[in-house]
């Protein structure tokens, strides 16, 4: 490597992944990570809520066994110890519209024989319904999820629709079938281990953010918080200067800049850059519990799918019941008290269907609204996702909105950061040669 500097703008998971990858390659002393806020993690972080008296995540993020980039990232930070997972890959579901509950239980191995077992699959579904997943895998770039599936089937309502909303943060009518097909191939193609869920038991920051910042600092990387990038000077396709709120940085020809910021920020800084248009919101409601409420007391955490309700997923941990409402734009203006009461009634009803006793009264709650949680993951936006090297020169892009081939997830963000770091390393090696 040369003495060239590497500037990473944005300390979300994409920026942290890029920084860790480069630091592990021995360039930490020449690495500078700039973050506009006073904390790292971006949309994936934890904070202490004084009203609830505990630490909560700004959003519920699910990690699956088929997320190799996440586990590779964690390997350098102490491994999987920060993640909790149920004893086996089982997803409890509750259908509030019909009053039914069931357990979805994928089998070990890649051959999905579980779909032939009534006790393992969604009630009312048929084997042929699951084979429609192949239509998602083979989807074209213009197809929506709804275009590729039978919307009249029980499985569509009880699995494909809530899963699409959760994974793509979009309805099946507007969500990209190609992105959903990639998830089906990687997750369900890996059997029970591929779809095994993991939760950051002590919070996202404790698992993914704080250890990364500590490791970077320990390796000698410079980390600048409250360092908001205002403008970028470019000449002949290369970055020549970065102008922050407090100072400016001259960027040499052999230096590299990795821009790991949200798409709207990237578009403002780089006029003419093509980015995805539109976004979708996510609501998270965190209810403070006096005692743990879990179907399986031995589980460190539980994940429950909700059907026929406002929310799609319920996460149960010690002292918390956290609910996720994806594609929630229509609910943003709904009064918080009304929203909290309605969702808690759904939580209580779902737990009752699963045989979990719920104490009377609504617990204390904190509602977190992410108005631009993800870009709109529609077919029309797929060609608008830029590549890592879209701008050429010494400027690279990272973020879950870039062309990772995956939905806007933790896995996609980390893969994008790894990809940018790999290009930066190759460029430095070529410079030496």
pLDDT in tens, 405-414: 999 999 999 9
Return the pLDDT at 189. 80
In a domain, 189, yes or no: yes
In a domain, 14, yes or no: yes
Segments forming the whole domain that contains residue 398:
6-38+225-277+378-432
Return the pLDDT at 111. 86
Asked if residue 382 lies in contact with residue 141, where contact means CB atoms within 8 angstroms, the answer is yes
| Residue 259 tokens, joined | 């821009």
* Cross-strand partners of 305: 93, 313
In a domain, 111, yes or no: yes
- Of the candidates 399, 408, 403, which has an alpha carbon nearest to the alpha carbon of residue 375? 408
**Band (318; pLDDT cuts 50, 70, 90):** confident
Q: Are residues 393 and 268 in the same domain?
A: yes
142-146, 168-172, 206-210, 355-359: which has the minimum mean pLDDT? 355-359
Return the pLDDT at 433. 41
pTM of the complete model = 0.94
Q: Are residues 53 and 135 in the same domain?
A: no
Mean pLDDT of 33-61: 93
Mean pLDDT of 9-35: 96
In a domain, 96, yes or no: no
- Of the candidates 84, 7, 2, which has an alpha carbon nearest to the alpha carbon of residue 420? 7
Asked if residue 375 lies in contact with residue 179, where contact means CB atoms within 8 angstroms, the answer is no
Which residues have a Cβ under 8 Å from the Cβ of 64 and sit 6 or more positions away?
187, 194, 195, 196, 197, 198, 411
Q: How many domains does the chain have?
A: 3
The residue out of 353, 375, 397 marking a domain boundary is: 375
Give the helix, strand, coil percentages of the chain, each rounded to 5: 35, 25, 40
In a domain, 395, yes or no: yes
Return the pLDDT at 1. 45
pLDDT in tens, 203-253: 999 999 999 999 999 999 999 999 999 999 999 869 999 999 989 999 999
pLDDT in tens, 347-398: 999 999 998 888 889 999 999 999 999 999 999 999 999 999 999 999 999 9
């Amino acid at each position: 490597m040369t003495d060239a500097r590497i500037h990473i703008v944005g300390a979300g998971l994409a920026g942290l992944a890029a920084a860790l990858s480069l630091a592990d390659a021995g360039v930490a002393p020449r690495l500078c990570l700039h973050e506009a806020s006073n904390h790292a993690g971006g949309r994936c972080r934890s904070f202490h809520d004084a009203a609830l008296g505990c630490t909560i995540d700004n959003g519920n993020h699910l990690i699956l066994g088929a997320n190799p980039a996440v586990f590779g990232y964690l390997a350098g930070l102490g491994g999987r110890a920060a993640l909790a997972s149920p004893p086996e890959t089982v997803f409890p579901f509750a259908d509030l519209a019909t009053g039914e509950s069931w357990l979805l239980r994928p089998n070990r191995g890649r051959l999905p024989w579980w779909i032939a077992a009534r006790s393992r699959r969604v009630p009312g579904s048929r084997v042929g319904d699951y084979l429609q997943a192949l239509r998602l895998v083979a989807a074209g770039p213009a197809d929506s999820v709804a275009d590729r599936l039978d919307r009249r089937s029980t499985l569509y309502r009880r699995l494909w629709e809530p899963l699409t909303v959760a994974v793509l943060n979009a309805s099946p009518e507007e969500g990209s079938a190609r992105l959903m097909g990639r998830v089906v191939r990687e997750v369900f193609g890996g059997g029970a281990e591929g779809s095994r869920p993991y939760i950051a038991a002590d919070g996202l920051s404790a698992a993914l953010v704080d250890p990364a910042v500590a490791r970077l600092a320990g390796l000698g990387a410079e980390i600048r918080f409250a360092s908001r990038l205002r403008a970028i000077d470019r000449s002949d396709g290369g970055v020549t200067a970065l102008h922050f709120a407090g100072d400016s940085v001259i960027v040499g020809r052999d230096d590299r800049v990795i821009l790991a910021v949200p798409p709207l920020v990237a578009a403002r800084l780089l006029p003419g850059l093509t980015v995805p248009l539109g976004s979708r919101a996510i609501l998270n409601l965190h209810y403070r519990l006096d005692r743990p409420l879990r179907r399986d007391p031995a589980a460190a955490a539980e994940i429950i799918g909700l059907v026929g309700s406002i929310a799609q997923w319920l996460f149960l941990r010690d002292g918390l019941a956290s609910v996720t409402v994806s594609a929630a734009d229509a609910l943003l203006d709904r009064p918080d008290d009304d929203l909290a009461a309605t969702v808690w009634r759904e939580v209580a009803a779902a737990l009752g269907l699963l045989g979990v006793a719920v104490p009377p009264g609504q617990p204390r709650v904190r509602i977190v609204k992410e108005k631009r949680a993800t870009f709109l993951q529609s077919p029309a936006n797929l060609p608008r996702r830029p590549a890592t090297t879209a701008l050429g020169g010494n400027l690279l892009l990272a973020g879950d909105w870039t062309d990772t081939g995956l939905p806007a997830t933790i896995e996609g963000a980390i893969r994008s950061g790894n990809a940018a770091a790999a290009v930066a390393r190759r460029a430095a090696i070529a410079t030496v040669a």
